[in-house]
A and B are shown apart, each in its own frame.
Chain A
Amino acid sequence: MHIVVILRLVPDLSDELDLAEDGKSIDREWVGIALSEFDEQALEEAVLLKEAILPKDGGGAKVTAIARAGEGVERMLQGALARGADSAILLEGDEEEYLDSRATAPIFAEALRSLQPDLVLTGVQTIEDIFGQLAPYLGRLLDWPQVSAVSGVELGERSCILRQEYSGGRQARIEVDLPAVVGLQTASQPPRYVSASKLKEAMKSGEISRLPAAAEPMHNRAEIESLAPPDRTAGARMLGDEPEGAAAAILDALDERDLISR
């Protein structure tokens, strides 16, 4: 059983997002980057699946983590190896160029055709895929069944059972033929903690192989014209950041609205 998990780095939202001079994109030069949180969930689910299969039938499963080359990506892949991926692949192309999920879909699809996995996991979305999410694009390009908003995968021989989540907390269990593409929202367990020593070990011994990014980006007849923070004028009345004063102001406001019951 071969599980491929696609990983992406995204701007770290605990950092300030500065706009680039063109006013259409963020300044990627300085912003911190982090593994997309839903991709992290996908990686955890892949490793959990592998661990569940191993003891049963010796033949086992393997997890390959794959990412487009770029700043910080090798390190991120080493982290994936430390978390339990068996191998890591870097897709080498134009590293400087930012590509959205739609544009990268043919590149990942081409790599997946050659890797021939049984199951592809990736995050249900990233915080920046304005022109569509990767998993459904991959499903169409490969003509493999695809399900998004999944919070739990069980693997069988020729099929998997996916738990898809809907509004209000309703869920369905869907049996899907392999190979399949899953847009994962939440792993069956929270992502594991990886110790610094394990990370160091992976950085020394973890092999990352390279593949050329062998496809043209998917074209799109949509284009961002401007990017800006939302208008805040209608937003909250801001209290200071002195706790006692802020607390008193909040309680006064609640009192005025009869929202405190004594």
Chain B
Amino acid sequence: MTKVLVHIELESGGIAPVSYQLLGAARQLAGQDGTVDALLISERPQDQVSQLGAADRVFCLSGDSAASYLPEVHLKALLAAREKSQPDIVLIAYSSAGLDLAAASAATADLSLAAYCQGVERDGDELQVTSQLYAGRLLAKSRVALPAVLSVIPGAFEEAPGRIEGNPEIVDLTAGLDLSQPRMRLLEVIEPEGGDVDIAEAERLVCVGRGIGDPDSIAEAEELATLLGAELAGSRPVIDAGWLPKSRQVGKSGKRVAPKLYVCLGVSGAPEHLEGMSKAAFIVAVNKDPAAPIFETAHLGSTCDLFDLMPSLVEGLKQRGC
């Protein structure tokens, strides 16, 4: 009988989509006779528990210390839930929280661990796990002994099977957890700045990646975007370099977008970028490296140098009367 424990994340006050994906995967791993436990750390868990119907039991930590994510609090609660639940498998999202918690919990409880997981199957006493490595260039298949922690890539599993209403049993961890003498304190939560446009609402996006090379070339991409009636967006390195404002970042630590058209220029297609745009309806990728992972997700691809292709696109659009 397989027991699975899922770490639930909150996003703008509700259950994060990735947590439903994890619950769905957990149900599948647990099979007919297994059980699924969830850990919910929330100021008001009673508002959310009914959405965790895919779980049999929900371990809850509530109150002030649960109001916002804090690595130390989540790790203590996760270790306490693991003690009680004794799971074979702990599922944690590959997110900022997951980066803190997966390895830390594995090290504390002597669990094996596989990260960047996009697929998993039970194989006797072990798991067969498929992980994305080398920024998505290679897939690793590994054999992982139980008990184990898996850190799972958002978007790897369907949301629907885990999004079930219900009345799971509640186990309150709050009283039994010693959170005195904290070594970290939350000072403030900073909401993202609005920016001049909301790229998540745009129907068409042109996204520039590190391949754009320098800030001056962004103007060229901007001309293309304007002719296409698109907004300009960037991958993380472009934002980090200060070439575009943070509000235009697509990906794990930026915005999730699903436009009708997504043209990416000089973007390699790292898992953290794909997480933000793989649901776009039509994706055109320009990257001079034929092995770039973006071509697995794109619908149309070209290995042209983007500096050769951009002028031809601009010219072509003008000829077509744009």
Residues of A within 8 A of B (CB): 11, 13-14, 16-17, 26, 102, 105, 124-125, 127-133, 136-137, 139-141, 145-149, 161, 163-177, 183, 185-186, 190, 218, 220-232, 234-244, 246-251, 253-255, 257, 259-262
Chain A residues whose CB sits within 8 angstroms of the CB of B228 once the complex forms:
254, 259-260
> In whole angstroms, what is the CA distance A13 to B71 when docked?
31
Q: B184, A175: Cβ atoms under 8 Å?
A: yes
Q: How many Å lie between the Cα of A251 and that of B261 in the bound state?
A: 12
For the complex of A and B, the 6 pairs showing the least CB-CB separation, nearest first, are A236-B301, A247-B312, A132-B103, A221-B145, A169-B192, A148-B99
CB <8 Å contact, B302 and A183:
no
Q: Is the CB of A140 within 8 A of B133?
A: no
Q: Chain B residue with minimal CB distance to A248?
A: B316
> What are some 28 contacts across the A-B interface (CB < 8 A)?
A26-B138, A105-B107, A127-B134, A133-B115, A136-B101, A136-B103, A141-B107, A149-B253, A169-B193, A171-B190, A172-B188, A172-B190, A174-B187, A177-B184, A218-B107, A221-B148, A222-B114, A223-B143, A224-B141, A226-B140, A231-B296, A238-B303, A241-B303, A243-B305, A251-B320, A254-B284, A261-B322, A262-B321
Q: Which of B20-28, B161-169, B242-250 is near enough to bind chain A?
A: B242-250
Pair A11/B134 contact, Cβ less than 8 Å: yes
Q: Is the CB of B309 within 8 A of A238?
A: no
A132: chain B residues within 8 A (beta carbon): 102-103, 106-107, 113, 115, 151
Chain B residues whose CB sits within 8 angstroms of the CB of A183 once the complex forms: 99-100
Contact A137 B107 (CB under 8 A): yes
Interface of A is mostly: mixed
Chain B residues with CB below 8 A from A231, complex form: 296
User: What A residues does B142 contact at CB under 8 A?
Assistant: 130, 222-225
Which listed residue (A218, A259, A262) contacts B282, Cβ 8 A? A259
Q: Are B296 and A130 in contact (CB under 8 A)?
A: no
- The one of B135, B190, B204, B312 that contacts A13, using a Cβ cutoff of 8 Å: B135
A133 touches B103 (CB 8 A): yes
Q: How far, in whole Å, are A125 and B132 apart by their CA atoms in the complex?
A: 13
Please tell me if the beta carbons of B301 and A238 are within 8 angstroms of each other in the complex. yes
Q: Which of B144-166 contact A (CB under 8 A)?
A: 144-145, 148, 151
| Interchain CA distance A17-B103 in the complex, whole Å | 27
> With the chains together, A73 CA to B315 CA distance in Å?
48
B252 within 8 A of A: yes
In contact, A17 and B138 (Cβ under 8 angstroms) = yes
Q: How many residues of B contact A (CB 8 A)?
A: 103
A40–B186 alpha-carbon span in the complex (Å):
27
Q: Given A229-B291, A260-B317, A166 and B96 touching (CB < 8 A)?
A: yes
Residues of chain B within 8 A (CB-CB) of A254 are 228, 261, 282, 284
Q: How far apart are the CA atoms of A30 and B240 in the complex, in Å? A: 31
CB distance from A255 to the nearest CB of B (A): 7
Distance between Cα atoms of A105 and B113 in the complex (Å): 14
B299 partner, pick from A102, A176, A222, A237, beta carbons under 8 A: A237
A99 → chain B closest CB, angstroms? 15
The distance in angstroms between the C-alpha atoms of A177 and B299, with both chains bound, is: 49
Say how far A185's CB is from chain B's closest CB, in angstroms.
8
Contact between chains at B320 and A130 (CB < 8 Å): no
Residues of A within 8 A of B284 (CB): 250, 253-254
User: Contact between A136 and B100 (Cβ–Cβ < 8 Å)?
Assistant: yes
The residues of B that contact A244 with a CB separation of less than 8 Å are: 312
Contact A137–B104 (Cβ < 8 Å): yes
- Least Cβ distance of B102 to chain A in Å? 6
**Separation in Å of the B268 CB from the closest CB of chain A?**
7
Contact A168 B192 (CB under 8 A): yes
Q: Answer whether A228 and B95 are a contact pair too, CB < 8 Å, given A136-B103, A168-B192.
A: no
Q: B260 at the A/B interface (Cβ < 8 Å)?
A: yes
Q: Does B214 contact A (CB under 8 A)?
A: no
**Complex interface: chain B residues within 8 A of A149 (CB):** 96, 99-100, 253
Return the chain A residue nearest B101 by Cβ.
Answer: A136
The reply to whether the CB of B177 lies closer than 8 angstroms to some CB of chain A is no
Contact of B11 with A by CB under 8 A? yes
A16 and B289 alpha carbons, distance in the complex (Å): 10
Please give, as numbers and ranges, the residues of chain A lying within 8 Å of B128 by CB-CB distance: 225
A228 to B133, alpha carbons, bound, how many Å? 10
Distance of A185 Cα from B303 Cα, bound (Å): 29
Q: How far is the CA of A225 from the CA of B131 in the complex (A)?
A: 11
> Apart from A169-B253, A246-B309, A255-B320, what are 4 other A-B pairs with CB-CB below 8 Å?
A13-B134, A127-B135, A140-B104, A222-B113
- Whether a CB of chain A sits under 8 angstroms from the CB of B137 is yes
Interfacial chain B residues near A260, Cβ < 8 Å: 228, 317, 320, 322
Q: In the assembly, what is the distance between CA of A168 and CA of B14, in Å? A: 14
Q: Which residues of A contact B302 (CB under 8 A)?
A: 238-241, 246, 250
Cross-chain contact of A175 among B187, B247, B260, B304 (Cβ < 8 A): B187
Contact A190 B241 (CB under 8 A): yes
Taken residue by residue from 226 to 245, chain B's Cβ proximity to chain A (1 for < 8 Å, 0 otherwise) reads as 00110000001000111000
Q: A130-B116, A220-B112 are in contact. Are A176 and B296 (CB under 8 A)?
A: no
Chain B CB within 10 Å, residue with most, of A137, A243, A257: A243
Cβ of B191 within 8 Å of any chain A Cβ, yes or no, is yes
What is the chain A residue whose CB lies nearest that of B242?
A: A190
Cβ–Cβ contact A232 & B309, under 8 A: no
